[in-house]
Structure 1
């Protein structure tokens, strides 16, 4: 007989709000403390929402793999106003159909063709950087990865107005989502509060820009192989059905959010960590010098850049681009030996699992060396999952990993990046894990590795 989930030990919280205030104030710290104080399953009451933090990798895997019993949580469902019925938010047969159509678009051989775009756009950014500049590296990475993903989607240099419109909409969405998270998503987006009005207007402006680009492609089709063209051409083999403009809009919005936000954040945290760990920086420089000998990287160089790749993996361990996933029980079900009532939100935290001392020695230290000897394959599934897992694992995982490694290698050959002393960096766990007020850094010309060693 399964045990009732809510008979397990957990934080008592307030009799009315439960643990909602603690979760709203510091979700990463609160969930980390819960993971240390209680067991594999930690029942929580978040206002009117029954929830449970899952701390065991087998149970995390079980939840992520069961797409029949668990659906995206209410927090993600509110994103439908931004992303519509794209892959990130769709459920059931609609999701399965879209995934089947989109999967070939993200085949490894196809996304490798975007490597040149990634490096070229990075070099264009570096041309306006100067030694001695102080800048917000998070903003720079956001602008760069947005330009890259829009080039890959539309095969054109999207004009500044369109790019600014999209960037603004995504920024407003992040702030709006963070406000709603603190309110436990109890304030409806249609209610005429100022942040809701800004959010709806930003989405309307973004829609206008996206639909204009879709219309332009419909009127002037080409065979460039960009993502939009491939999505337009994707066809159900059984029915011949293709995506209509509304679904294309939703997939494009999803790609723009997921395709630049996560990589930009991963790189931003990476620059912070490299600034704090000069011995890692030195080893990175040695690998780049040996493998590239001063030239720009290409996708063919990636096998010769294992330490560069390990830096990205370790950065995403400590600062995962998405720090918390939520899955809601669509029906009464069981997880492990516990009965989980319908409506319970299962919280799966990359932040908590990635920093668990049960699976990582010196878990709070930035040690890229740990990824040598195939550590990732030896870890239980459900321990390290920066891109999620199960059937809904991020479809753009290969794109993001390739992009992050190429951008890091390109920039690190030209500049050293040092965080401005005493600048406070605050992780903001919104849809993605952002630095709340950016990361101010100072640029200096890259020294030779021997000079760094000396």
Structure 2
């Protein structure tokens, strides 16, 4: 007979809010401690919500594979104002229809066409960099990846105003979500608190910009081959229906968040790690010289930039784009023979699994070489999942990896980035894993 998960050993919590305070104050530290001190399933209580934390790869894989039994968590549902019914937040048959419609837009052949945009925009940014200056490279990476995703989505250098509205809305959302997480998602969004008003206003301005672009595109009838025109053209195989303006808006907002924030963070952490490990930086430069000589990289070079790819994989292991994800049990079920009640919040942490000494030798060390000989394929499913897994694996995974490799190669060829001494770099586990105060670096022209 299966055992109730809440009979398993668990960390002590506050009598009223349970483990919510520990999770709110230091989520990465708390979950790492849970993984080290308890079993494969760690029962938790988050206020009135029953929860558990999974540390066994097979259990994580079971949850990520079953999109019907395990739906997106309450935490992510708080982002509906931003994401609407986009792929990241929708469920059930609606999600399945949208995923099926959008999948061809992200075929490897299609996204390869965006490689030149990525390299060109990076070159434009580098033209503004000066030898010896100090910059917040996280701000630079955020601006660059947003400009790239806007160009790929709308095939135009979107006006400074539009890009600003989007950047502002995404930034406000991150801070708003972080404050909600610390409060256990208790504060209702409609309540007229200043941060709620600021959040709604930022989304309204962003929405106006997106709807204006959709409206102009419909009126002109142009099909420039960007992501928006592809999304506008796709038809449902069953009934021939196309996406409404609202559906387009939701998917565009989702792509803007997922398509720039995660890559910007990955690259920011990569610059920090390279600055701390000159031997890795030297090996990277050696590969770039051998493969590219002095020319800019192209999509065709990516299969040969193997060490560059390993550097990105290792950066995403130590600093995953998303540090923790959660699902909610839609009905009573079993995980690994343990009873899990409906409504239970099931937590999984890339941060914890990626740094586990059970699966990685010298797990805390930055060693890109570990990814040689197809380590990713040899790892047990549920150990390394920077883009999630199962049917809801990130649809833009190919786009993001291509972008990260091309941007890293283009920038590393021209500049060495050194962290400003004694600058506090603090991981902030919000929707994504950001450096809370950015990453200050000094530039040195090569």
**Which residue of 1 is the match for residue 114 of structure 2?**
114
Distance in 2, matches of 1:49 and 1:442, equals: 46
The Cα of 1:48 is off from its aligned counterpart by 1.2
The Cα of 1:222 is off from its aligned counterpart by 2.2
**Which residue of 2 is the match for residue 158 of structure 1?**
158
Secondary structure of 1:343's aligned partner:
coil
**Which residue of 1 is the match for residue 216 of structure 2?**
216
**Structure 1 residues 97-246: aligned runs within 5 Å:** 97-246=97-246
**Structure 1 residues 374-389: aligned runs within 5 Å:** 374-389=374-389
**Which residue of 2 is the match for residue 408 of structure 1?**
408
The Cα of 1:386 is off from its aligned counterpart by 0.1
**Which residue of 2 is the match for residue 452 of structure 1?**
none
**Which residue of 1 is the match for residue 429 of structure 2?**
429
Provide Cα deviations, 1:15-61, integer angstroms capped at 9, x if missing partner: 11111111000000000000000000000011111111100000000
User: Which deviates more from structure 2 when the two are superposed, residues 24-33 or residues 43-52?
Assistant: 43-52
Distance in 1, matches of 2:250 and 2:183, equals: 26
Secondary structure of 2:381's aligned partner:
coil
Q: 2:320 matched to 1:336? A: no
Distance in 1, matches of 2:381 and 2:171, equals: 33
- Structure 1 unmatched ranges of 5 or more: 447-454
**Which residue of 2 is the match for residue 33 of structure 1?**
33
The Cα of 1:174 is off from its aligned counterpart by 0.1
**Which residue of 2 is the match for residue 322 of structure 1?**
322
Distance in 2, matches of 1:200 and 1:369, equals: 45
Distance in 2, matches of 1:219 and 1:144, equals: 29
**Which residue of 2 is the match for residue 278 of structure 1?**
278
Distance in 1, matches of 2:7 and 2:124, equals: 58
**Which residue of 2 is the match for residue 449 of structure 1?**
none
Distance in 1, matches of 2:254 and 2:17, equals: 33
Distance in 2, matches of 1:304 and 1:131, equals: 29
The Cα of 1:253 is off from its aligned counterpart by 0.2
Q: 2:357 matched to 1:357? A: yes
Distance in 2, matches of 1:362 and 1:193, equals: 46
TM-score by length of 1: 0.98
User: Which deviates more from structure 2 when the two are superposed, residues 153-162 or residues 215-224?
Assistant: 215-224
Secondary structure of 2:114's aligned partner:
helix
Distance in 1, matches of 2:259 and 2:272, equals: 21
Q: 2:21 matched to 1:11? A: no
Secondary structure of 2:346's aligned partner:
strand
Distance in 1, matches of 2:355 and 2:67, equals: 26
**Which residue of 1 is the match for residue 310 of structure 2?**
310
Distance in 2, matches of 1:395 and 1:140, equals: 25
The Cα of 1:238 is off from its aligned counterpart by 1.3
The Cα of 1:239 is off from its aligned counterpart by 0.2
Secondary structure of 1:442's aligned partner:
strand
Count matched residues.
Answer: 446
**Which residue of 2 is the match for residue 53 of structure 1?**
53
The Cα of 1:225 is off from its aligned counterpart by 1.1
**Which residue of 1 is the match for residue 65 of structure 2?**
65
Distance in 2, matches of 1:304 and 1:286, equals: 13
Provide Cα deviations, 1:400-431, integer angstroms capped at 9, x if missing partner: 00000000000000000001000000100000
Distance in 1, matches of 2:399 and 2:179, equals: 30
Secondary structure of 2:314's aligned partner:
helix
Distance in 2, matches of 1:311 and 1:217, equals: 39
Distance in 2, matches of 1:77 and 1:20, equals: 18
TM-score by length of 2: 1.00
The Cα of 1:258 is off from its aligned counterpart by 0.3
Secondary structure of 1:413's aligned partner:
helix
Q: 2:292 matched to 1:292? A: yes
Distance in 1, matches of 2:171 and 2:351, equals: 22
In the TM superposition, structure 1's runs of 4+ consecutive aligned residues that sit over 3 Å from their partners are none
Provide Cα deviations, 1:154-191, integer angstroms capped at 9, x if missing partner: 00000100000000000000000000000110100110
The Cα of 1:221 is off from its aligned counterpart by 2.4
Secondary structure of 1:327's aligned partner:
strand
Q: 2:445 matched to 1:445? A: yes
Provide Cα deviations, 1:353-381, integer angstroms capped at 9, x if missing partner: 00000000000000000000000000000
**Which residue of 2 is the match for residue 80 of structure 1?**
80
Distance in 2, matches of 1:220 and 1:163, equals: 21
